[in-house]
Amino acid sequence: MNALIVIDVHARTVIEEVIEAGCQDSAAFEWIKQLRYYWQVDPLDPERFDVQTKCVATVFPYGYEYLGNTGRLVITPLTDKCYMTLMGAL
């Protein structure tokens, strides 16, 4: 429950930043720099779907990775920068 609260508070902060930046579309950098998850339907098999992780220009399939010690989970602006850097490096 703690991890969900932390992630939800971070999501609220992200939305506030996007609004304050005056973003008008989904191509705005303030939006695409965020770590995002999307349901993607397989075009060859509409019954099948995958979850994709996107950040800036990087797209990876989500592999249900370990979140770490959720009791100590903290998301800061530095965490967001690390996500952008690591996703870009992959």
Tell me: pLDDT of 19 over 90: yes
Tell me: pLDDT of 34 over 80: yes
Cα maximum dimension of the chain: 41
CA distance 78 to 30: 15
Model confidence at 42, pLDDT cuts 50, 70, 90, reads: confident
**Six-digit token string for 37:** 């998850």
Q: What is the mean pLDDT of residues 57-64?
A: 87
Residue range of the domain that includes 85: 2-89
Tell me: pLDDT of 4 over 90: no
How many domains, in total, are found in the chain?
1
